[in-house]
Amino acid sequence: MRLKPAGIVAILAIIGVLVYFVLKPKMAELREENSKELPSSRTANERNNGENTPPPPATKGGTTPEDREFNYTPDEPVNGQLRGVVEVGATGFNSFVISMDNENRWKIVSKDFGESLAYEGLATTEDIRLGLKKYLSSMFDKGVDKRNMHFVISSGALKEPKTTTIGNELKKMGYVVNNVTADQEARLALRATVPPQFADNSFMVDIGSGNTKVSWDEGGTVRTMELPGAKYYEKGISDENVYQQVKTGMSRVPEGKRNVGFIIGGVPFTLAKQHRKGEERYTVLRTPQSYNAKDKKMGAGLTIYKAISDATGTDTFVFDWDANFTIGFLLSLRK
């Protein structure tokens, strides 16, 4: 029997209905499974707006994409003479030997940062005398003439009682001990740290334990200021208080001087050490929020660093591994 067109359509309709009712449960299960796998539109939007986004992955060598280089090479001294300087710091001694010529071009020959002769081991004046002799002999072994050996006591160290005793022992040994104020430190650090090519548009900051020194050249006149140091917590001063003090103080730095911040000091040293690539002279610090404080001093230093960054808007802070105010002191001496 041959079916008429109307009959064929009816049979197809019946088959379609039967297939729908058979597959309906399977389709519902599939939709439910897919809804579990796909993120909600709110989550997708959050990701698009940068929320809940993980930090950028570290690149080879432990660095991150924000690491940058400061491509500047200072001029080498010509027929330089060796000069040594010892800083009597707040917790110990730092020593530096440089080769320096008549044009104030210089390069580091040796350096000893940190607690190279910690105060804790100097109980008596005899301990101090013996310790200093041993310390100085190692400096002379590097070729520094006794007449070219100098001593300075930093402004922060002047607040430490034991510094007076150490200074007196050095004088008994025939040395001149130079006491340096915070203002002088800032001026000397500027001289050693900021390259001449950057003097017109940059500033210097030295975050020390006892105080923070800031300086810049303004029309041939050096401007300085003293702000809280990284051990302010020992005096019971809050982070918020120091942050506001530093931010207010740094607002005095002229807009035209904020291109680069040349930064030195104990805490910047610790920060730069975390991602130094080799033996480069300059390391560009990461943003303050990129670091995690490992102790109270580092946390306090980061508070100061953040206030400096927020106040100036400077996005390039260059740590100099060789420069410090004591080298500026050597550069200021008569030839």
Mean pLDDT of the chain: 81
* pLDDT exceeds 60 at position 184: yes
- C-alpha to C-alpha distance for 26 and 33, rounded to whole angstroms: 11
Per-residue model confidence as pLDDT tens digits over 252-279: 999 999 999 999 999 999 999 999 989 9
Comparing 172 with 271, the larger pLDDT belongs to 271
Comparing 121 with 149, the larger pLDDT belongs to 149
Mean pLDDT of 285-290: 96
What does the pLDDT read at residue 10?
55
DSSP alpha helices (H): ranges in 124-193?
A: 125-140, 161-172, 182-193
What does the pLDDT read at residue 134?
76
State pTM to two decimals.
0.75
What does the pLDDT read at residue 263?
98
The tokens for 236 are 């019971």
What does the pLDDT read at residue 256?
96
Domains of the chain plus CATH, in order, are: 81-179 (3.30.420.40), 182-323 (3.30.420.150)
What does the pLDDT read at residue 40?
34
* pLDDT exceeds 90 at position 190: yes
Which of the four pLDDT bands, split at 50, 70 and 90, describes residue 11?
low
Residues near 87 by Cβ (< 8 Å), separated by ≥ 6? 93, 94, 95, 96, 152, 153, 154, 157, 324, 326
What does the pLDDT read at residue 207?
96
CB 328 within 8 A of CB 188: yes
Nearest to 98 by CA among 148, 58, 26, 43: 148
Strands 202-207, 260-265: pairing kind: parallel
**Residue keyed to tokens 């607690």:** 115
